[in-house]
């Protein structure tokens, strides 16, 4: 296969392209869903496909197909170069930042390869998770999802980079529903790791499923959240959402370059309070957002984006690093062969500080403590974000009091970061799939407990 | 192999290899898209074009009452047989499902029109780039406070085929083109976003200049800051804002799977008043030129026109054949299928109808309220309770019938049931956004927090 890829790269150059990048991917994947003791679906699949990216005089052409016959590949290449020509322009050339040429083979350590584990064993783990959740109370209903993915990737570029990468990961998602007298409340948990099937042992699947059900049950007693402006203390998971949604997306250099990020022109400037230090680190072994190399063949790294409130860097790919004269950070990632690499986060988190949780809340007269993420969304162009929490509690005179439900909060990125008035020394991190430009990407986000002033809460009480 | 031959082959082989029933679904999808950016500092750049050609076939087999799926992206006999063997093996290890009765029986496909425009097969990429270039320049010049303009086109078409062991054999082609313009402006620290997109089955039926006009209009209005107090207000949602909210807060609630499992706030509500009596919602898989129109659904059941809410009364949920058998009724033709995954329930063309007034009057009659062109966070809606809490963004303040400027940080919270009861009227500006066929819609007395 590698020879075929190198042949395509050469053909692309012969056709006149300035740069050619070919990515072959073969993946094995299984998705299983269990609802209330019943296997709703279990779909294994193997897929192969190719992505070709060509650059011609400032125009990018991209072509993808799963027809990997030699004619299929030749036709895909011709289309990629043709599209690059159609996109080209005399006015603005693309200068790719020079990347170290690498020839390497890397793989995520795997003890039990996913494709060799019989599917009934995977189903069994999920059925046990479902049983643990529903065992908590007769009213509990549960939806449990298992998703595994093992891929082999080959990347060849016209700069001479040749990479063989093997990845493997396992993901669980648990939704528990509790009901009482017509009221239904739900709680979700997600956990994931890089590795083979053996990582399920380390993930406490049953324990976490049981805990999700207990949390859902507890939410039945919660009161609707109030609306208005509050001092809010968020846990590490919500801090992660803030790191990812509110600031991470705005620090992606493609958004900065297009002028659709509020962080444009802010490099070296203060964008947050002294408590704010933000890191994107793709190098933590086993963590769900980690990579060896990105999909342009650039080595994955640990980057400090914000240091004590000062913006230190953006996440880049070769194009944005070249145009903006920034260091390469190895953040060009593609969902799979159907997509071109774009600038994405990996494991993004706030650095812990030195306060305890009690110290964070002790001088709050009337505020809210919010825990656990229920999804978020951001518009980096306008600098606004929204996210939901799974649990929330009213803080009165420095003490946690009654539990709240249906809590969601929003704010302006730059104001919010400046309103961080305390950071705890604890830390939590959570896996997620982030959507951008139609691509879903695995990542994690996290941080410590943080206190933020003047957060808009969208409650209805 | 031709798609229809491939699915017939798969069904025949599945029966030979031990399945009691089987179906197969195959697709070939093609997409060409282009995009470019005009940015005040760098000029027109970031030009890119992509092309995608993906094919695949998924099989579903039933062994007794146990059902399993598998798929392949190689449409050759050996690969298809391999997928069938995987599915049968899986069906044999799975627990039987007592609720599974049968795959759907054969019925004549619906007669539908206007879903395939042959000219999309060879899209006018050069011409599209030229139009995009013009629009990018025009829009940037429209206001000195505009910083970035993004625009593009997408041209897609697909061939699909479905067959099952009860005699279903259908194949069809469909196409879609879309275009859009997005503008970002900034004045005195207030950032403004104006965006507009159009989608159509036909190549020539999207209008990039109209998109630009609308995007410019809202990007300009958004440069003015406006204020509104928290409280209960009149809110007009444009379809762009409504589509996400309806998907997460309503479609999921009428999905028969969620209803049957007791996870929807609409469980047990058939025949009850769940919305304002002015409101009627129809799910129509046969609408001429509809983006979700096809002769059959993802398992070969003919597309239909189903009344979901009639004058505020809940009339039906959305079913595939599995959930329909369970409720002892007919499928509504809402099975959605991709070759990689199992059948799910999804909306077709979801048509909102009610009390229609002219769009200008809809806004003109508002003393104090909001015009909402987007919501953020609809996906965190709790479908069990219908509780949602979204950020209205972009949102504009209406005062005495005039849109006076943008409001930031306005949250709308409540339950979707309450919102449906607060329906007041709708405009005459009907468009299709994804599955939603709707105009601007007005709700009275909606609580906002700031």
Q: Do A67 and B53 touch (CB under 8 A)?
A: yes
Q: Are B262 and B149 in the same domain?
A: no
Q: How far is B93 from chain A (nearest CA, A)?
A: 7
Q: How confident is the model at residue A460, as a pLDDT?
A: 59
Interface of B with A in 267-326 (CB under 8 A): none
Q: How confident is the model at residue B222, as a pLDDT?
A: 96
Which residue among A199, A219, A239 closes a domain?
Answer: A219
Q: What is the CATH number of the domain that holds A66?
A: 3.30.2290.10
Q: Are A137 and A25 in the same domain?
A: yes
Q: Are A213 and A252 in the same domain?
A: no
Task: Give φ, ψ of A123 to 5 degrees.
Answer: -60, -40
A138, A145, A184, A374: which to substitute to probe chain B, counting the most B Cβ within 10 Å?
A184
Range with lowest mean pLDDT among A215-229, A276-290, B33-47, B364-378: B33-47
Which residue among B157, B192, B221 closes a domain?
Answer: B221
Which residue among A200, A219, A238 closes a domain?
Answer: A219
B226 in any annotated domain: no
Q: Are B123 and B15 in the same domain?
A: yes
Q: Does A92 touch chain B (CB under 8 A)?
A: yes
Q: How confident is the model at residue A184, as a pLDDT?
A: 83
With beta carbons less than 8 A apart as the criterion, state whether B46 and A94 touch: no
Residue B194 pLDDT > 80: yes
Give the DSSP H/E element, type plus range, for residue B417: helix B416-421
A382, A390, A392, A439: which to substitute to probe chain B, counting the most B Cβ within 10 Å?
A382
Residue A76 pLDDT > 70: yes
Q: Are A22 and A61 in the same domain?
A: yes
- Tell me the per-residue pLDDT of A18-71, one tens digit each, with 9 for 90 and over: 999 999 999 999 999 999 998 988 988 889 999 999 999 989 999 999 988 889
Q: Are B200 and B342 in the same domain?
A: no
Q: Are A274 and A202 in the same domain?
A: no
In this prediction the ipTM stands at: 0.86
Q: Does B68 touch chain A (CB under 8 A)?
A: yes
Q: Give the closest residue to B277 by CA, choosing from B354, B162, B209.
A: B354
Residue A132 pLDDT > 90: yes
B290 in any annotated domain: yes
Q: Which of B54, B86, B411 sits opposite A456 (nearest CB)?
A: B411
Q: Does B121 touch chain A (CB under 8 A)?
A: no
Q: Are A183 and A247 in the same domain?
A: no
Which residues lie across from A45 on neighbouring strands?
A: A29, B71
Q: Do B44 and A384 touch (CB under 8 A)?
A: no
Q: Are B271 and B196 in the same domain?
A: no
Q: Which of A86, A88, A388 sits opposite B380 (nearest CB)?
A: A388
Which residue among B175, B192, B221 closes a domain?
Answer: B221
Q: Which of B50, B263, B393 sits opposite A382 (nearest CB)?
A: B393
Interface of A with B in 328-347 (CB under 8 A): 338, 340
Residue B1 pLDDT > 60: yes
Give the DSSP H/E element, type plus range, for residue B338: strand B335-338
B154, B411, B412: which to substitute to probe chain A, counting the most A Cβ within 10 Å?
B411
Q: Which residues of B touch A338 (CB under 8 A)?
A: 52, 54
B53, B326, B416: which to substitute to probe chain A, counting the most A Cβ within 10 Å?
B53
Average pLDDT across chain A, whole number: 94
With beta carbons less than 8 A apart as the criterion, state whether A54 and A81 touch: yes
Interface of A with B in 364-393 (CB under 8 A): 374-379, 381-388
Q: Which of B94, B125, B409 sits opposite A412 (nearest CB)?
A: B409
Q: Are A211 and A233 in the same domain?
A: no
B245 in any annotated domain: yes
Q: Which residues of B touch A119 (CB under 8 A)?
A: 90, 93
Q: Do A408 and B48 touch (CB under 8 A)?
A: no
Q: How confident is the model at residue A289, as a pLDDT?
A: 97
Task: Give φ, ψ of B139 to 5 degrees.
Answer: -65, -40
Tokens representing B53 are 């050609």
Task: Give φ, ψ of A251 to 5 degrees.
Answer: -95, 5
Q: Do B449 and A39 touch (CB under 8 A)?
A: no
Q: How far is B4 from chain A (nearest CA, A)?
A: 18
- Tell me the per-residue pLDDT of A219-252, one tens digit each, with 9 for 90 and over: 999 998 888 899 999 999 999 999 998 889 999 9
Range with lowest mean pLDDT among A73-82, A353-362, A380-389, B366-375: A380-389
Q: Do B380 and A459 touch (CB under 8 A)?
A: no
Buried b (16+ CB within 10 A) or exposed e, A125-137: bbbebbbbbbebb
Q: Are A168 and A232 in the same domain?
A: no
Q: Does B187 touch chain A (CB under 8 A)?
A: no
Which residue among A219, A238, A255 closes a domain?
Answer: A219
Our count of domains for chain B comes to 2
Three-state secondary structure call for residue A324? helix
Q: Which domain holds residue B82?
A: 3-221
Q: Which residues of A touch B134 (CB under 8 A)?
A: none
What count of other Cβ atoms lies within 10 Å of the Cβ of residue B252?
Answer: 23
Q: How confident is the model at residue B167, as a pLDDT?
A: 97
The DSSP code for B205 is: G
Q: Do A375 and B447 touch (CB under 8 A)?
A: no
Interface of B with A in 26-55 (CB under 8 A): 32, 34, 36-37, 39-55
Q: Are B177 and B260 in the same domain?
A: no
Q: B384 pLDDT band (50/70/90 cuts)? A: confident
Q: Are B213 and B266 in the same domain?
A: no
The two counts, helices (H) then strands (E), for chain A are 9, 23
The DSSP code for A352 is: P
B42 in any annotated domain: yes
Q: Are B201 and B310 in the same domain?
A: no
Q: Are A388 and A401 in the same domain?
A: yes
Q: A459 pLDDT band (50/70/90 cuts)? A: low
Q: Which residues of B touch A388 (CB under 8 A)?
A: 377, 380, 389
Q: What is the CATH number of the domain that holds B47?
A: 3.30.2290.10
Q: Does B70 touch chain A (CB under 8 A)?
A: yes
Range with lowest mean pLDDT among A109-118, A194-203, A241-250: A241-250
Q: Do A44 and B34 touch (CB under 8 A)?
A: no
Q: Do A86 and B262 touch (CB under 8 A)?
A: no
Q: How confident is the model at residue A329, as a pLDDT?
A: 97
Q: Which of B97, B126, B413 sits opposite A460 (nearest CB)?
A: B413
Distance CA B222, CA B219 (A): 5
- Tell me the per-residue pLDDT of B394-408, one tens digit each, with 9 for 90 and over: 999 999 999 999 998
Distance CA A64, CA B32 (A): 10
Q: Which domain holds residue A64?
A: 2-219
Buried b (16+ CB within 10 A) or exposed e, A330-365: bbbbbbbbbbbbbbbbbbbbbbbbebebeebbeebe
Q: Give the closest residue to B430 by CA, choosing from B362, B367, B369, B346.
A: B362
Q: Which residues of B touch A52 (CB under 8 A)?
A: none
Q: Are B214 and B331 in the same domain?
A: no
Q: Does B93 touch chain A (CB under 8 A)?
A: yes
- Tell me the per-residue pLDDT of B306-345, one tens digit each, with 9 for 90 and over: 999 999 999 999 999 999 999 999 999 999 999 998 999 9
Range with lowest mean pLDDT among A11-15, A252-256, A260-264: A260-264
Distance CA A329, CA A350 (A): 18
| Cβ pairs bridging A and B (under 8 Å) | 255
Q: How confident is the model at residue A275, as a pLDDT?
A: 97
Q: How far is CA B248 from CA B357, B425, B439, in A?
A: 27, 22, 19
Q: Are A171 and A233 in the same domain?
A: no
Q: Are A262 and A151 in the same domain?
A: no
B328 in any annotated domain: yes
With beta carbons less than 8 A apart as the criterion, state whether A165 and A106 touch: yes
Q: Are B214 and B250 in the same domain?
A: no
Q: A3 pLDDT band (50/70/90 cuts)? A: very high
* Residue B425 C-beta-side C-alpha neighbours within 13 Å: 16
Q: How far is A50 from chain B (nearest CA, A)?
A: 10
Q: Which residues of B touch A180 (CB under 8 A)?
A: none
Q: How far is A328 from chain B (nearest CA, A)?
A: 19
Distance CA A47, CA B158 (A): 19
Q: Which residues of A touch B73 (CB under 8 A)?
A: 47-49, 66
Q: Do B409 and A66 touch (CB under 8 A)?
A: no
Q: How confident is the model at residue A308, as a pLDDT?
A: 97
Residue A461 pLDDT > 70: no
Distance CA B308, CA B326 (A): 19
- Tell me the per-residue pLDDT of A298-332, one tens digit each, with 9 for 90 and over: 999 999 999 999 999 999 999 999 999 999 999 99
Would you call the peptide bond into A357 cis, given omega within 30 degrees of 0 as the criterion? Answer: no
Q: Are A391 and A447 in the same domain?
A: yes
Q: Which residues of A touch B389 (CB under 8 A)?
A: 225, 388, 406-408, 458-460
Average pLDDT across chain B, whole number: 95
Our count of domains for chain A comes to 2
Q: Does A407 touch chain B (CB under 8 A)?
A: yes
Q: B176 pLDDT band (50/70/90 cuts)? A: very high
Which residue among B158, B192, B221 closes a domain?
Answer: B221
Q: Which residues of A touch B34 (CB under 8 A)?
A: 86-87
- Tell me the per-residue pLDDT of A156-169, one tens digit each, with 9 for 90 and over: 999 999 999 999 99
Q: Are A209 and A317 in the same domain?
A: no
Q: Do A411 and B86 touch (CB under 8 A)?
A: no
Q: How confident is the model at residue B379, as a pLDDT?
A: 86
What percent of chain B has pLDDT above 90? 91
């Amino acid at each position: 296969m590698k020879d075929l890829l190198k042949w395509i790269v050469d053909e692309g150059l012969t056709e006149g392209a300035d740069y050619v990048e070919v990515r072959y991917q073969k993946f094995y994947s299984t998705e299983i869903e269990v609802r209330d003791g019943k296997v709703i679906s279990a779909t294994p699949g193997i897929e192969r496909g190719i992505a070709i990216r060509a650059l011609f005089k400032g125009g990018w052409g991209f072509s993808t197909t799963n027809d990997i016959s030699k004619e299929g590949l030749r036709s895909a290449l011709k289309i990629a170069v043709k599209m690059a020509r159609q996109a080209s322009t005399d006015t603005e050339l693309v200068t790719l930042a020079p990347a170290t040429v690498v020839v390497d083979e890397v793989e995520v350590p795997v003890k039990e390869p996913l494709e060799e584990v019989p599917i009934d064993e995977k189903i069994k783990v999920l059925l046990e998770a479902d049983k643990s959740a529903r065992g908590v109370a007769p009213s509990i209903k549960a939806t449990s999802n298992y998703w595994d993915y093992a891929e082999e990737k080959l990347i060849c570029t016209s700069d001479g980079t040749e990479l063989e990468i093997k990845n493997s990961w396992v993901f669980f998602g648990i939704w528990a529903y509790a009901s009482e007298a017509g009221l239904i409340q739900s709680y979700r948990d997600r956990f994931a790791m890089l590795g083979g099937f053996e990582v399920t042992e380390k993930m406490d699947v049953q324990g976490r499923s049981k805990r999700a059900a207990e949390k859902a049950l507890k939410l039945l007693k919660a009161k609707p959240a109030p609306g208005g402006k509050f001092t809010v203390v968020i846990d590490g998971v919500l801090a992660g959402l803030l790191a990812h949604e509110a600031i991470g997306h705005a620090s992606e250099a493609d958004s900065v370059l297009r002028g659709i990020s509020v962080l444009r022109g802010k490099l070296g400037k203060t964008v947050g309070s002294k408590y704010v230090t933000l890191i994107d680190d793709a190098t933590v072994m086993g963590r769900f957002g980690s990579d060896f190399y990105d999909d342009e063949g650039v080595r994955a790294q640990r980057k400090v984006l914000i240091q004590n409130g000062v913006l230190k860097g953006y996440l880049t790919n070769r194009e944005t690093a070249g145009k903006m004269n920034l260091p390469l950070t190895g953040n060009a990632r593609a969902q799979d062969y159907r997509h071109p690499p774009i600038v994405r986060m990996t494991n993004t988190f706030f650095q812990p500080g030195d306060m305890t949780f009690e110290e964070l809340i002790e001088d709050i007269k009337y505020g809210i403590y919010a825990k656990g993420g229920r999804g978020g969304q951001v518009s980096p162009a306008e600098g606004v974000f929204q996210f939901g929490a799974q649990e929330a509690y009213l803080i009165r005179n420095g003490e946690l009091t009654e539990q709240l439900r249906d809590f969601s909060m929003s704010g302006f990125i730059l104001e919010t970061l400046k309103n961080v008035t305390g950071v705890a020394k604890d830390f939590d991190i959570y896996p997620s799939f982030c959507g951008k430009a139609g691509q879903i990407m695995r990542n994690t986000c996290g941080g410590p407990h943080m206190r933020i002033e003047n957060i808009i809460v969208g409650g209805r009480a | 192999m031709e798609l229809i031959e491939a699915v017939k082959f798969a069904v025949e082989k599945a029966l030979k290899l031990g399945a009691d029933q089987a179906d197969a679904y195959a697709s070939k999808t093609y997409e060409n898209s282009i995009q470019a950016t005009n940015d005040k500092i760098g000029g027109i750049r970031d030009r890119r074009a992509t092309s995608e050609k993906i094919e695949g076939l998924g099989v579903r087999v039933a062994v007794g009452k146990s059902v399993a799926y598998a798929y392949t992206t190689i449409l050759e006999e050996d690969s298809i047989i391999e997928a069938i063997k995987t599915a049968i093996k899986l069906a044999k290890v799975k627990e039987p499902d007592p609720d599974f009765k049968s795959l759907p029986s054969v019925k004549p496909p619906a007669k539908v029109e206007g879903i395939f425009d042959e000219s999309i097969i060879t899209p006018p990429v050069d011409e599209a780039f030229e139009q995009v270039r013009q629009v990018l320049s025009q829009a940037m010049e429209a206001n000195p406070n505009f910083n970035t303009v993004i625009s593009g086109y997408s041209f897609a078409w697909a061939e699909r085929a479905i067959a099952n062991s009860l005699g279903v054999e259908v194949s069809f082609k469909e196409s879609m083109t879309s275009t859009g313009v997005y503008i970002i402006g900034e004045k005195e620290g207030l950032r403004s976003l104006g965006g507009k997109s159009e989608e159509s089955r036909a190549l020539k039926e999207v209008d990039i200049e109209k998109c630009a006009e609308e995007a410019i209009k809202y990007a300009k209005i958004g440069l003015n800051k406006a204020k509104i107090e928290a409280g209960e207000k009149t809110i007009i949602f444009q379809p762009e804002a409504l589509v996400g909210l309806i998907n997460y807060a309503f479609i999921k609630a009428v999905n028969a799977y969620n209803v049957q499992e007791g996870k929807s706030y609409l469980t047990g509500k058939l025949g009850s008043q769940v919305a304002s009596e002015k409101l009627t919602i129809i799910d129509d898989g046969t609408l001429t030129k509809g983006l979700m129109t096809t002769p059959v659904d993802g398992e070969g059941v003919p597309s239909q026109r189903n009344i979901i809410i009639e004058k505020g009364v809940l009339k039906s949920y959305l079913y595939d054949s599995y959930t329909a058998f369970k409720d002892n009724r007919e499928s509504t033709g809402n099975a959605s299928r991709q070759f990689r995954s199992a059948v799910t329930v999804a909306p077709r063309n979801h048509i909102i109808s009610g009390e229609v007034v002219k769009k200008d009057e809809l806004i003109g009659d508002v003393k104090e309220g909001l015009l909402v062109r987007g919501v953020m966070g609809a996906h965190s809606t709790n479908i069990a309770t219908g509780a949602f809490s979204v950020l209205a963004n972009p949102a504009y303040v209406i005062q005495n019938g005039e849109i006076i400027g943008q409001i930031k940080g306005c949250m709308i919270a409540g339950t979707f049931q309450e919102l449906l009861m607060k329906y007041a009227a709708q405009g005459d500006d009907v468009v299709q956004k994804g599955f939603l066929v709707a105009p601007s819609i007005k709700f009275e007395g909606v609580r906002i927090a700031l």
